[in-house]
């Protein structure tokens, strides 16, 4: 379950970093129009990836985290990059649902 939680955080981090991108043609919410908010989104994305790496290291200690986290970042970023031009609202709905889903997975794992 911790791997799924870490992937949810990485997906959210990928969506935040895409939303903070200032290029034209990148679908992003109006929330990131301010440069300070875009910088905050980038910092939050970096913290989420770091937290995912620490969580993954807690579940599987050792060098596996150095392989698992880059693969998770690539998978999450690919999902965001492929879905964003086609269905931008779906990307942001999935990104918003990532935190409640991770909480559900965290507390649901105790009852299984």
pLDDT tens profile 8-34: 999 999 988 888 887 766 667 777 778
Q: How confident is the model at residue 109 (pLDDT cuts 50, 70, 90)?
A: low
pLDDT number for residue 13: 92
What token pair was written down for 72? 């998770």
Burial of 18: CB neighbours in 10 Å, binned 0-12, 13-18, 19+:
buried
Alpha carbon dihedral 45, 30, 18, 91, in 10-degree steps, equals 100
Interhelix angle 65-83/88-108, rounded to 10 degrees, is: 140
Give the tens place of pLDDT for each residue, 39-83: 998 999 999 999 999 988 888 888 888 888 889 889 989 988 888
pTM listed for this prediction: 0.84
The tokens describing 18, both together, are 């895409």
Distance of CA 42 to the CA centre of its chain: 11
């Amino acid at each position: 379950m911790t791997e799924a939680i870490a992937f949810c955080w990485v997906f959210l981090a990928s969506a935040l970093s895409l939303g903070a991108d200032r290029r034209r043609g990148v679908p992003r919410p109006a929330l990131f129009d301010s440069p300070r908010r875009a910088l905050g989104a980038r910092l939050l994305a970096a913290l989420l990836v770091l937290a995912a790496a620490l969580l993954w290291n807690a579940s599987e200690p050792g060098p596996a985290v150095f392989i698992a986290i880059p693969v998770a970042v690539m998978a999450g970023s690919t999902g965001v990059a492929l879905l964003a031009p086609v269905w931008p609202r779906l990307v942001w709905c999935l990104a918003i649902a990532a935190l409640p889903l991770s909480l559900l997975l965290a507390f649901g794992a105790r009852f299984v």
